Amino acid sequence: MSQARQKLLITGFDPFGGRSINPSWLAVQALPDQIGSFDLVKLQIPTIYGIAAQTVLHEAKMLSPSVILCIGQAAGRRSITPEFVGINLRHSSIADNRDFCPKDSPILPAGPTAYFTTLPVRSMTAAMSAKKIPSAVSYSAGTFVCNDVLYTLLHHYAGTDTKVGFIHVPLLPEQANTDEPSLPLHLICDGLRTAIEAIT
Ligand code: PCA
């Protein structure tokens, strides 16, 4: 008997912080349209506080996906890192793509401090490690736009059947400075595919 198909909305960001590419969107674009029981819908979102999350919510309202998985670039990381938690904080040393640079302000003034992801990050990481793809669970998505998206989506879908998660990926070799760690695009794509296969 064939498995019921489910929709998975997957997003990547546009370039930010003076870089000319963002591996998150390049990797999302390079993924197949079907992975396991999921039909993927791919969406590029802007690296702008508030607008990024609203763009995902707008698409998700029309699509009603079972899973929303957002991907972002994390300079300095060596591994593919599913995020465990989103926190209610905006704080940045660099401007977003609308020149906004918040300092210690809440995302939602009356919202809870944090939400845990509703995706199985342990199985996702274990599946990647089993294939020797560098991966680790992360306990901080930062306080920039990626965390903003993760927190806002987890708040919106809290208590519903829609699962929400975020994966940070390293820089690509072609964009990294000599002292920055990186991972080739094909490994990032293998990792994301493997992580999605581990979502049940
Ligand atoms: N990474 C940033 C925002 C966009 C992206 O790809 C972050 O880690 O917040």
Model confidence pLDDT, tens digit, residues 130-148: 999 999 999 999 999 999 9
| Model pLDDT for residues 104-123, shown as the tens digit of each residue | 999 999 999 999 999 999 99
CA torsion sign for 89, 42, 117, 60 is positive
The tokens describing 5, both together, are 């198909």
Q: How confident is the model at residue 153 (pLDDT cuts 50, 70, 90)?
A: very high
Residue showing tokens 């991907």? 71
| Model pLDDT for residues 66-93, shown as the tens digit of each residue | 999 999 999 999 999 999 999 999 999 9
Output 28 or 4, whichever has higher pLDDT. 28
Residue 37 has pLDDT above 60, yes or no: yes
The tokens describing 148, both together, are 């903003």
For residue 144, count other CB atoms closer than 10 A to its CB. Answer: 22
Helix (H, G, I), strand (E, B) or coil at 85: strand
Inter-residue contact 154 to 57 (CB < 8 Å): no
Q: Residue with the nearest Cα to atom 8 of ligand 1?
A: 146
The tokens describing 178, both together, are 């000599």
| Model pLDDT for residues 20-33, shown as the tens digit of each residue | 999 999 999 999 99
Is 168 among the catalytic positions?
Answer: yes
Residue 3 has pLDDT above 70, yes or no: no
Is 83 among the catalytic positions?
Answer: yes
Helix (H, G, I), strand (E, B) or coil at 196: helix
Residue of 58, 59, 70, 83 marked catalytic: 83
- For the chain, what percent of residues have pLDDT higher than 70? 98
Alpha-carbon span 136 to 148, nearest angstrom: 21
Q: What is the pLDDT of residue 2?
A: 57
Q: Ligand 1 centroid vs 46 CA: distance in angstroms?
A: 10
Q: Which residues line ligand 1 (CB under 6 A)?
A: 13, 16, 22, 24, 47, 72-74, 142, 144-146
Q: Residue with the nearest Cα to atom 9 of ligand 1?
A: 146
Q: Ligand 1 centroid vs 1 CA: distance in angstroms?
A: 41
Is 70 among the catalytic positions?
Answer: no
CA 8, 21, 173, 43: dihedral to nearest 10 degrees?
0
Q: What is the pLDDT of residue 68?
A: 99
CA torsion sign for 112, 60, 41, 6 is positive
Residue showing tokens 């609308």? 98
Residue showing tokens 């904080």? 89
- For the chain, what percent of residues have pLDDT higher than 90? 98
Residue of 146, 156, 186, 189 marked catalytic: 146
Alpha-carbon span 134 to 15, nearest angstrom: 23
Q: How confident is the model at residue 166 (pLDDT cuts 50, 70, 90)?
A: very high
Closest ligand 1 atom, residue 22 Cα: 6
